[in-house]
Amino acid sequence: MFYGVDLTSRLMLGTAQYPSPAVLLEAIEASGAEIITVSLRREGVAGAAFRNILSESRCRLLPNTAGCHTAREAVTTARMAREVFGTSWIKLEVIGHADTLQPDPFALVEAARVLCAEGFEVFPYTTEDLIVGEKLLEAGCRVLMPWGAPIGSGQGLRNPEGLRTMRAHFSGIPLVVDAGIGAPSQAAQAMEMGLDAILLNTAVAKAVDPAAMARAFGRAIQAGREAFEAGLMPRRDMACASTPVFGLAELA
């Protein structure tokens, strides 16, 4: 599904802001996630102890470039991540705006070009813009990660129609909704639309009971996917009784 790696779970979990590494491990376990993201920018090489605990989860690590504001910073962080984690996977995040943490699409495409050329397998955090998506594919990305809403906002899918269009346009490309998911119902909605996976962090990390919330998300995402595969009924404007109105038995 992602760069030749097939997974059972369609949930990816971020690892920041948990009450403790122990609680984080419980949440990962409860969620069933097989991919966890991990940051490097602020922690640096000296964050090894925390990363060693993460490796106990046996999840595949997806290092990210969170906290980078320029293509150059992101490229440098990605190279460092490859050294530290021994993986060519990188979740590419280049922040363009301080308040919304919206991705900077220009720097994103630029950094994606450099990294793909260096053999990285890039997971770009982008918007639902189709042209930016095309440029990212052209740069060599084989996954797109459109936002649901601004990072940590819990607003859910701000632009579901845009994501629907994106799904239709990039039919063979794995699409992961990254950021903005606050509730399991929102995650299920994205899965019902046929998006491939969800990446979230705050909604679980800041829940009063992170492990229980992680489990709830895992189930909602599975339910949403099953519903998509089962084929959802179309919306109709008028009532349509499931029992026929003609041919009723005459009992008298």
Partner 1 sequence: MIYSVLGEGVAALCCATALSDRGLDVEVIVPEGSREAASRFAGGMLAPFCEGESAPDLIVAQGQAAVDWWAAHVPGVTKRGTLVVAPPRDGAELDRFARATQEHDWVVPGDLEPDLEGRFARGLFFPTEAHLDPRKALASLRDSLLAKGVTFRSGTPRGHVVDCRGLASRDSLADLRGVRGEMLIVHASDVTLTRPVRLLHPRFPCYVVPRDGDRYMIGATMVESARPGPVTARAAMELLSAAYTLHPGFAEAEILELGAGLRPSFPDNIPAVRHVAGRSYVNGMYRHGFLMAPVCAEQLAAELAEVYAHAD
- Contact positions toward partner 1, by CB under 8 A? 19-23, 25, 42-44, 46-50, 53, 152, 202, 206, 208
- The residue among 33, 30, 27, 31 whose CA lies nearest residue 8 is 33
φ/ψ of 14, rounded to 5, equals -80, 160
* Nearest residue (CB) to partner 1, 41 versus 82: 41
Q: Whole-angstrom Cα distance, residue 77 to residue 17?
A: 21
Number of C-beta neighbours around residue 102 at 10 A: 16
Closer residue to partner 1 (CB): 48 or 117: 48
Could you tell me the smallest distance in angstroms from the CB atom of residue 61 to partner 1?
Answer: 14
Phi, psi of 107 (to 5 degrees): -65, -35
Contact (CB, 8 A) for 36 and 59: yes
CB 183 to partner 1: min, Å = 14
Instruction: Report in angstroms how near the CB of residue 48 gets to partner 1 at its nearest.
Output: 8
Known binding residues are: 152, 179-180, 201-202
Instruction: Tell me the closest approach of the beta carbon of residue 202 to partner 1, in angstroms.
Output: 8
**Tally: H helices and E strands in the chain:** 9, 8
Catalytic residue among 10, 82, 91, 135: 91
Alpha-carbon separation of residue 157 from 86, 194, 220, 232 (angstroms): 34, 14, 15, 19
**Structural tokens at position 213:** 């919330």
| Contact criterion met (CB below 8 Å) for 77 and 53 | no
Which of 51/167 has CB closer to partner 1? Answer: 51
Q: Closer to partner 1 at the Cβ: 208 or 252?
A: 208
* Annotated catalytic residue 206: no
Instruction: State the binding site for 1-deoxy-D-xylulose 5-phosphate.
Output: 152, 179-180, 201-202
Active site residues: 91
